[in-house]
Amino acid sequence: MVPSNNLIVSLKDVVAGYTTTGKGWRSLFKHVNVVLKNINLRVYDGERIAIIGESGSGKTTLLKVILGLLKPVSGRVEVLGKEIYRFSWSERVNILKQIGYVPQDPYKALNPKLRVKTIISEPLESTNTEPEEIEGRVREVIRMVQLSDKILDKYPGELSGGMMQRVLIARSIIHDPEILILDEPTSALDVSIQAQIIELINNIHKKLELAILTVTHDLGVAQYLSNRAVILYRGNIVEEGYIDEIITKPKHEYTNLLIASYKASI
Amino acid sequence: MVLAVKARDLRVGYVDEEENILWAVKGISFEVSQGEVFCLVGESGCGKSTIGNTITGILPPYAVTEGELHIFDKLVIKGNQRNYSGIRGRVVSYVPQNPGTSLNPYQTIGTQLYYVLNSVYGWDKKKSLDVAKKYLSLVELDPEDTIDRYPHELSGGMQQRAAIAIALSTGAKIIVADEPTSALDAHLRLQLIKLLMKLKESESLTLVMITHDLVAAGKICDTVAVVYAGKILEKCSGSNVIVEPLHPYTQMLADAVPLLGFKRHLRSIPGEPPKPDEEIPGCVFAPRCPLVFGKCVEPPPYVKAYGGEVACWRYVSGAKQ
C-alpha cells in the first residue's frame, strides 16, 4: 500500500524524561532526567516505519509519549491532528482509541486470570458496542490472526508464546485503529514463530491499510516490517530514511557500527 | 580430552497436580569437552532450558530424572537421585535470560556480588568488594563506577555483564547462559560474543549456551545441538548450523532467520511443537516435516553424516527404498 499524506502521528521538537527527587530534604527539589532530546517524527497513514535503537536509547519513552502516558517537557505531540497533551485525560483517551498497541512481552502482557475472549474484547468494552457486535468482531479478528475460535475460552497460560502474541495483535486491531504500534513484537519469540508473526503483521497491514510503527533493536526484523526507519541513539534521532538505503549506505557513525556489528556476528 | 559434561540417556520430567510425569527431556546423550562452547538451539518449549537447569542443578523439587549426568568426574544424576553438592554454584554457574529482571532491584551490584562471595567463601564485606571489583573489570565494566549502582541504573548490556560477573565470581568453570543475546541489539550482541570468547580463553571456561539465535550460535559455538520435543535431532559444528544444516528441522529453522541486507521469503515451520505429554511414535518431527516418508513412523537412529550427527531416516542408507 502506498502511504498517503495524512499525518497520523507527529512529534515536533519533543523533549521528554522522568522527574526524580533526592532523599530527605532533597526531595523538595525536582530534577528531570532528559531521555528524549528534540525529537521530530512524522508517521503517515498507511506507512510502515521502524524505530531502531539499543536498550536505553529512549524507544520505550518515545512510545509512552505517543501513547499519551508521558507528557513531554516541551514540544508538540499530535495524534490524528490533535495535540493530545492539551486535552484532559478522558478526552485524550478518546483520541488515543485510534491507536492499537502490542506490548513487548506476550508472556507478561496478558492478564492470566482472564479468558482470551475477554482479553480481546477489552478495547470495545468501554464503547457503546452491542454485545452481539463485540462477539462478531472477536471472531473476525481471531480469524484474521489465524487462530481457531476454540481458544476463546482458554486462559493465557494454556497458550504458546506465538498464540499469545497473536491474541495481543487481535486485541490491538479489534477497534479498527488508524495506527498499530508494536513494541519489540518478536524479541520474546523463537525464529520460527518470529517468521510467522512478521508475515501476519504484513498481512494485517495490507488488509487493514493502517500505519504500522514498530520498535525494535533488531535490524534484521526491521527490514521485514518497515519501509522507513528511524535510528534512535541516546535520545536523539541520528538517522532517518528508507530502510534499504540505511542498510546499504548508513550515514551516521552509530548506524554504521550497528550494521558492521551485525555483519561481524554472522 | 577432559569431559566437562556427559549425559547418558538423560530424561527429565515434572510431576503435575495429578501425579503424572510430563517428560520435557526424553532420553538425550551428549558430551561437552572442557573449554568447548556448546549450544542448545530450538523452538520455545522444546526442552532447552530444562537441559540447562539440569546441568546447573536448579531443577525444582517436583522434577523427576532418569539416566545419568556427569559434571567433570562427579556423577550428579543417577536415576532419580540428584547430588550437586560441591558442583552447583562452585563448578557450574548460571547466567539468566533477562538480567534486568533477575538482578535484585533493591541491592547494588556490589552488594549482590558480596552475598555470592560471602556464601561461597565466607569473606567479609571489605574483601568481597575488593574481589568483586576484579570480576567487574574482567567483564569490562568500570568497577568503581558500577559497584555502587543499582541494576536499573545500568543499560541492558551492562546488566548482562554484571550478571556474568556474578556467575564468574564463584570460580565456576562451566557457565550455562540462557538466551544471553536475545535482548541485545547487533552492536551489544557482538560485544557480548567477544567478551564471552575472551573469558572462555582467559578463565578456561566451558560454555553451555541456550539460544534460539542461530546466527550467534553459528558464530561462537564449537558444537550445536538442535533440540526438538525433548530430543536432540542434530549435533553439528557451529559453522554448519546455518550453512549446511542436515535435519529438515534445522534447515527450516535456518530458513526462518532474517538476515540483514538479504531479503528473502522467511519460511516459518507450520504447526507447533508437541506438548510434553504428547507421545509421538517414530520421528518426533515427522508430523511437521515436509520431507516425511514411510520409514519416519519408526524412531530414527543417530547417524554420522557430513561431519555431524543426525537423527533422520534420510541419512540412513537404504531407508528410502
pLDDT tens digits, one per residue of B13-25: 999 888 899 999 9
Chain B residues 95-154 with a CB less than 8 Å from chain A: none
Please name the residue that has the C-alpha cell 475472549.
Answer: A117
pLDDT tens per residue across span A99-150? 999 998 888 889 999 999 999 999 998 788 888 999 999 999 999 998 999 9
A56 versus B169: the higher-pLDDT residue is B169
Band of residue A193 on the pLDDT scale cut at 50, 70, 90:
confident
What would the mean pLDDT of B139-163 be, rounded to a whole number?
89
In a domain, A167, yes or no: yes
Q: Which domain holds residue A170?
A: 107-176
- From chain B, the residues in CB contact with A262 under 8 A are 186, 190, 260
Average of per-residue pLDDT across A198-217: 94
Element (H, E) at A21: strand A7-21
DSSP letters, B295-312, are GGGSPPPEEEETTEEEE-
What integer pLDDT is reported at residue A2 of this predicted model?
Answer: 53
pLDDT at A3: 57
- Confidence tier at B111 by pLDDT (50, 70, 90): very high
Residue A204 lies in a domain: no
Q: Examine residue A111 and state whether it is found in any structural domain, yes or no.
A: yes
Which value does ipTM take for this structure?
A: 0.76
| pLDDT band at residue B122 using 50, 70 and 90 as cut-offs | very high
Query: Are B216 and A199 inside 8 Å of each other by CB?
Result: no
Contacts of residue A190, defined as CB under 8 A and 6 or more positions apart, other chains included, come to A161, B42, B43, B44, B212
CB A6 within 8 A of CB A44: yes
Query: Given an 8 Å threshold on Cβ–Cβ distance, is B258 in contact with A220?
Result: yes
Instruction: Tell me the shortest Cα–Cα distance from A58 to chain B, in angstroms.
Output: 11
pLDDT band at A33 (very low <50, low <70, confident <90, very high): confident
Determine the pLDDT at residue A4: 62
Whether residues B216 and A189 touch (CB distance < 8 A) is answered with: no
| Integer Cα distance of B91 and B87 in angstroms | 5
Annotation: CATH topology of B3-91+172-315: Rossmann fold (3.40.50)
* pLDDT beyond 60 at A159: yes
- Find where cell 551490584 sits: B109
3-state class percentages of chain A: helix first, strand second, coil last, to nearest 5: 45, 25, 30
Please state, for a pLDDT cut of 70, what percent of chain B lies above it: 99
Name the nearest CA neighbour of B153 among B106, B201, B91.
Answer: B106
Confidence of residue A251 (pLDDT cuts 50, 70, 90): very high
> Given this model, what pLDDT does residue B101 score?
80
Interatomic CA distance for residues A156 and A162, integer angstroms = 11
Distances (CA, A) of B24 to A57, A158, B31: 38, 16, 19
- Domain spans in chain B, listed from the N-terminal domain onward: 3-91+172-315
Domain count along chain A: 1
> A204: pLDDT confidence band, cut at 50, 70 and 90?
very high
**Is A132 domain-assigned?**
yes
How many angstroms separate the CA atoms of B74 and A221, rounded? 44
Span A92-97, mean pLDDT? 90
Given a cut of 90, is residue A5 above it in pLDDT?
Answer: no
Q: Is A139 contained in some domain?
A: yes
Q: Give me chain B's average pLDDT, please.
A: 91
- Residue B31: the pLDDT is 95
Q: Indicate the burial class of B294 (C-beta count within 10 angstroms; 0-12, 13-18, 19 or more).
A: exposed
Cell of A120: 480481546
The pLDDT, as a whole number, for residue A86 is: 95
Residue A140 falls within a domain, yes or no?
yes
pLDDT confidence of B321, banded at 50, 70, 90? low
End-to-end CA distance of chain A: 33
C-alpha–C-alpha distance, residues B186 and B183, integer Å: 10
Residues of chain A with pLDDT > 90, as a percent, come to 64
> How close B227 gets to chain A, by Cα (Å)?
13
Optimal mutation site among A18, A35, A158, A190, interface B, most CBs of chain B within 10 A: A190
User: B185 — contact with chain A (CB < 8 Å)?
Assistant: yes
What's the rounded mean pLDDT across residues B30-46? 92
Instruction: Check if the beta carbon of residue A134 is closer than 8 Å to that of residue A142.
Output: no
B252 and chain A: CB distance < 8 Å anywhere? yes
- Residues contacting B198, CB < 8 A, separation 6+: none
Angle at B187 between CA A108 and CA B51, to 5 degrees: 50
Q: Indicate the range of A17-21, B207-211, B226-230 predicted with least confidence.
A: A17-21
**Interface subset of B 199-218, CB within 8 angstroms of A:** 212-216, 218
In whole angstroms, what is the distance from residue B166 CA to residue A175 CA? 47
Chain B residues in contact with A242 (beta carbon < 8 A)? none
